[in-house]
Structure 1
Amino acid sequence: MWLNLQIFGFRALWSPYFFVFLLVIAIVYALITGPYRHRFGGEDKPSAKQQFMFYLALVLTYAVKGSPIDLMSHITLTAHMTQMAIYILIVPILIIKGLPEWIWKKIVYAPVIRPTLKVLANPIISVLLFYSLFSFYHVPFVFDFSKSTPIAHTLIHLILLIAAFNMWLPILAPVKELDKLKPLLKIAYVFVSAVLMTPACVVIIFASAPLYASYSGGGAWITALSLCVPGDVLQGISGTLTGPSLFTSMDIMEDQQLGGIVMKVIQEITYGFILANIFFKWFSKESLKIDPLPSDS
């Protein structure tokens, strides 16, 4: 497979411009949270753990949006579902946890954002909004439309990413104003989230026919490839591209089923870590309330 992918060239495989973009973000983060933080009203530097999480988020973003995984996401649904699971489930968590509280206060308390979050960050609205968009995105005509033009692709993925951040805010609550749910309700929120993602995954896994023209070969597939392959390169090799089968041993139905399974498995693992974190914090907080046993004296 790897040798076959070489026909698309370096830019399609490694997205150097996107790498530079993320590198600039990393440098800006280091400067704003480090030596220049006082110029922005900053307080303490982020901890080593916070810095690790933020930089890991950037690494994962490049891995799924700038590396060969991005190219493969236009060839197989399995790669696409892996990409999206990391992009909308894991990356937002790492960024939320990676930014220091004083930056979140500036974001959350901004004049336009604060009233917007009062509505959208409501736990019921946030979870329903994200999973409605997630399910709608996987409707075949919407999915194929998202791969029809760079603008549609970027805009739809950006909307999903913003909705994902909003979905995680009631659970991770980077500022006290957003921390409205008690631990038991946070646990319920995570379980509801897991349930709401299931229908889209089930439809994909158990569909009796291919759902997406973008992975069936032909014009729609070539159009999807044009999102990350330079036009001159794609034009030069289009005659040799017979379909996704050139790059994978799976047939289209096997790929589709595996894609749905991968999305659900990554979701369950991610939510498992979130639940464990909620339980641990809850247990630690309750332990502090217990009076110590009297000592013999």
Structure 2
Amino acid sequence: MIKVWLKMLDILLEEFHFSTMWNGGILLFILFGVIIYLFILPEDKNHKWWRTILFFTGLIILFISIGSPLNVIGRIQFSTHIIQIVLLLLFAPPLLIIGFKKKTMEKILSIPVLAKIMRVITNPIAAIILFYLLFYGYHIPVIFNNARIDLYLNYFYLLALFIAAFLLWIPIISSNRLHQKQKRYYIIANIVLLIPYSLLLLLAKDVLYMIYTDVDMFISALAVCLPDFQDIPKEFFQAIMPFNPAEEQPKGGWILLVSQLVIFGFSLFMTEKNK
């Protein structure tokens, strides 16, 4: 397995352009976020240094998930797509929320209209419904297959999922959205609602996504990352399809199941600890 991985990575580094592997637009967006955080947002004397570190860590994880070679490899290997989803939806949002400057949020909430909007979009019931509709909707095979062969549509879905995940995590992180018992049930509900997809990946007898099995669809999915893909022979794409989709699917299921149990389990532990 390691030899196959190294072979694929060697092919990617040799054939794929640097701009294909590393998304400059996403990097500029991240750097813009750093500049706003450091120099534009109002100073907060009570802001702890470790919160800044968590915020920057969240930005780095966000870039790794959608702007690094992980994004390209996720089009080749399904389990890597699941790693990408875990980083984007379960790791980055809580770190960004915890690290955000409270004084800035207080200024935003001091404006009645914005405060009302925030109360509506961070309503726990609305947040949980929105997130899981988008999450399961994106992973419906026909939608997933079509999204992966359209660069902008795929990024639109990922952006929508990230925003929904951000809203999903606010009731968990915030100290005034839910009381202790409600927060406990909310976290457990998230665990329960993610498990079915993990089990589907683990137990499905057939490969769910043709994007990883059909050569033509596979080429279309990578074509959006390769400006000059017409000059690349079909054999090249066949050479980087070494991963058995029937094995990748349950592997992705295990990654998702273990990751969400650890992350939400830790959140539940911290909630109980802070009683």
TM over 0.5, shorter chain: yes
What's the CA shift for 1:45? 6.1
CA distance in 2: counterparts of 1:61 and 1:126, whole angstroms: 20
* Higher mean C-alpha displacement, 139-148 vs 109-118: 109-118
Could you say which residue in structure 2 is the equivalent of 1:2? 9
Question: What 5-or-longer segments of structure 2 have no aligned partner?
Answer: 1-7
Query: Structure 1 residues 54 and 260, CA, compared in 2 at 3 Å: closer, same or farther?
Result: same
Query: Structure 1 residues 187 and 145, CA, compared in 2 at 3 Å: closer, same or farther?
Result: same
CA distance in 2: counterparts of 1:113 and 1:146, whole angstroms: 33
Answer yes or no: is the 8 Å Cα contact 1:78–1:258 preserved in 2.
yes
- Once the two structures are superposed, residues 29-77 of structure 1 have per-residue CA deviations (whole angstroms, 9 ceiling, x without a partner) of 11124xxx2xxxx542632111101110111112121221111011111
Q: RMSD in angstroms over aligned alpha carbons?
A: 2.0
Could you say which residue in structure 1 is the equivalent of 2:45? 44
Pick one of 218, 223, 232 that aligns with 1:221: 218
Question: What 5-or-longer segments of structure 1 have no aligned partner?
Answer: 283-297
Query: Structure 1 residues 257 and 110, CA, compared in 2 at 3 Å: closer, same or farther?
Result: farther
Percentage of matched positions with identical amino acids: 28
What's the CA shift for 1:219? 2.3
- 1:46 is paired with a residue of what secondary structure? coil
Query: Structure 1 residues 58 and 182, CA, compared in 2 at 3 Å: closer, same or farther?
Result: same
What's the CA shift for 1:24? 2.5
TM-score of the aligned structures, taking structure 2 as reference length: 0.89
What's the CA shift for 1:191? 0.8
Superposed, which structure 2 residues align to 1:100-111 within 5 Å? 100-108=101-109
CA distance in 2: counterparts of 1:69 and 1:148, whole angstroms: 17
What's the CA shift for 1:188? 1.4
What's the CA shift for 1:84? 0.7
What's the CA shift for 1:248? 6.2
- 1:231 is paired with a residue of what secondary structure? coil
What's the CA shift for 1:271? 0.9
Determine whether 1:134 maps to 2:135.
Answer: yes
Pick one of 239, 243, 264 that aligns with 1:250: 243
CA distance in 1: counterparts of 2:67 and 2:85, whole angstroms: 13
CA distance in 2: counterparts of 1:139 and 1:107, whole angstroms: 37
- Once the two structures are superposed, residues 80-105 of structure 1 have per-residue CA deviations (whole angstroms, 9 ceiling, x without a partner) of 01001110111110110111112223
Query: Structure 1 residues 149 and 110, CA, compared in 2 at 3 Å: closer, same or farther?
Result: farther
Query: Structure 1 residues 145 and 239, CA, compared in 2 at 3 Å: closer, same or farther?
Result: closer
What's the CA shift for 1:169? 1.2
Determine whether 1:274 maps to 2:275.
Answer: no
| Structure having the higher Rg | 1
Answer yes or no: is the 8 Å Cα contact 1:135–1:197 preserved in 2.
no
TM-score of the aligned structures, taking structure 1 as reference length: 0.83
CA distance in 1: counterparts of 2:17 and 2:142, whole angstroms: 30
Could you say which residue in structure 2 is the equivalent of 1:161? 162
* Higher mean C-alpha displacement, 49-58 vs 112-121: 112-121
Q: How many residues align?
A: 267
CA distance in 2: counterparts of 1:78 and 1:110, whole angstroms: 44
Determine whether 1:181 maps to 2:178.
Answer: yes
What's the CA shift for 1:202? 1.4
Determine whether 1:18 maps to 2:26.
Answer: yes
